[in-house]
Amino acid sequence: MGSGGGPMSGHPGAGGGMMGGQPVNESLQISVPNSAVGAIIGAGGTNIKQIMRESGAFVNVSMQLFAICVVTNQ
């Protein structure tokens, strides 16, 4: 994440699309309670796979003191 952004901030140019004819890559970092991670991932990863398939984004869940989900458009 860039400086000055909170946990729900994206990179400049948030909203997706094209910039100067080039696709814009952006990430969104979301803090999620550990108790909610299972619901996001789903049994056998079904929910997270569906989120990625339908949105075209890559979703990464990193477990630390709390879970951090990073969603990146592709």
- Angle, vertex CA 58, rays to CA 8 and CA 40, nearest 5: 70
For 30-41, the pLDDT digits (tens) are 888 888 889 989
Beta bridge partners of 46: none
pLDDT at 2 over 50: no
What is the reported pLDDT for 17?
Answer: 57
User: Quick one: tokens of 2?
Assistant: 């860039």
Please, what are the domains in the chain? 24-73 (3.30.1370.10)
For 4-40, the pLDDT digits (tens) are 444 443 433 344 555 667 777 788 888 888 888 899 8
What is the reported pLDDT for 35?
Answer: 87
What is the reported pLDDT for 65?
Answer: 64
